[in-house]
């Protein structure tokens, strides 16, 4: 076997190895891109489902099919804080009804940081109806922040000493994937914000019943 033949074999082996490494890298990038896309899609679907519930409840603050049971309407918010709110409303026993005429107490609050090692910022969002403890939504919620405004549009400072002054609300929700591609990406805030985080913000969310004054 001549020197030229050996050189050709070595060259072919090196080129083949480089091509194989390129193919493996492209495949890994394709898998990562697909995982990021799917994770982001799951996040957005979870956010939409959560927003539907939050908006529905908050827009019904102070509502009751028997309007005499929440009177005056501005007493419908029992307590309010930066990440929790308790209010009166009428939750229908039948989803097709507007209400059953029974006043219910609904309490939204953000729980403590979860034990999920993949995302140390994840927290459960709780919706407690009539004091009945329920398991929080584990959708990757990292922020549930509320602000309150009076009838003149001025921000009400914390702590809110008089919930009767609340006229509109601002709701902020942030979700991060509870199961990222790699756990280390959640310790890089830039990676988490770019590829694994979705936001929702409702400015001046108002209940018609709060306006009935």
pLDDT tens column, 54-79: 999 999 999 988 888 888 888 899 99
Domain that holds residue 157: 44-211
Which is higher by pLDDT, 76 or 189? 76
* pLDDT at position 192 over 50: no
| Average of per-residue pLDDT across 21-33 | 70
Q: Is 93 a member of any domain? A: yes
In a domain, 51, yes or no: yes
| Residue 18, domain member (yes or no) | no
Residue 79 forms part of a structural domain: yes
| More confidently predicted of 155 and 36 | 155
Confirm whether 23 is domain-assigned: no
The answer to whether residue 7 sits within a structural domain is: no
User: Does residue 37 lie in a domain region?
Assistant: no
Between residues 212 and 53, the one the model is more confident about: 53
Question: How many domains does one find in the chain?
Answer: 1
The pLDDT, as a whole number, for residue 10 is 66
Tell me the pLDDT of the chain averaged across its residues. Answer: 81
State yes or no: cis peptide before 72, omega within 30 of 0.
yes
Where does the chain show beta strands of DSSP type E?
77-81, 84-89, 104-113, 123-129, 141-149, 168-176, 197-205
Compute the average pLDDT of residues 125-135. 84
Give the mean pLDDT of 133-141: 73
Tell me: the pLDDT tens digits for 10-20? 677 777 777 77
Report the half-sphere exposure of 116 (CA within 13 A, side-chain side): 22
Within 10 angstroms of residue 44's Cβ, the number of other Cβ atoms is 13
Domain for residue 36, yes or no? Answer: no
Residue 81: what pLDDT? Answer: 96
pTM for the structure as a whole? 0.78
> Could you tell me which residue, 114 or 67, shows the higher pLDDT?
67
């Amino acid at each position: 076997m001549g020197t030229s033949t050996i050189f050709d074999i070595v060259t072919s082996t090196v080129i083949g190895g480089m091509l194989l490494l390129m193919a493996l890298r492209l495949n890994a990038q394709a898998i990562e891109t697909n995982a990021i896309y799917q994770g982001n899609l799951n996040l957005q679907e979870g956010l939409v489902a959560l927003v539907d519930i939050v908006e529905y409840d908050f827009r019904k603050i102070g509502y009751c099919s028997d309007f005499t049971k929440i009177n005056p309407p501005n007493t419908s918010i029992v307590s309010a804080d930066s990440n929790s709110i308790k209010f009166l409303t009428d939750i229908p026993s039948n989803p097709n009804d507007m209400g059953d005429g029974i006043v219910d107490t609904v309490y939204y609050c953000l729980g403590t940081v979860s034990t999920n090692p993949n995302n140390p910022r994840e927290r459960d969002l709780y919706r407690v109806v009539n004091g009945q403890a329920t398991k929080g939504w584990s959708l990757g919620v990292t922020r549930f922040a509320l602000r309150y405004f009076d009838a003149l549009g001025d921000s009400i400072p914390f702590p809110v000493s008089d919930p009767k002054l609340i006229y509109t609300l601002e709701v902020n929700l942030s979700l991060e994937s509870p199961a990222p591609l790699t756990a280390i990406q959640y310790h890089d805030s830039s990676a988490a914000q770019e590829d694994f985080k979705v936001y929702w913000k409702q400015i001046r969310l108002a209940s018609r019943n709060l306006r009935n004054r």
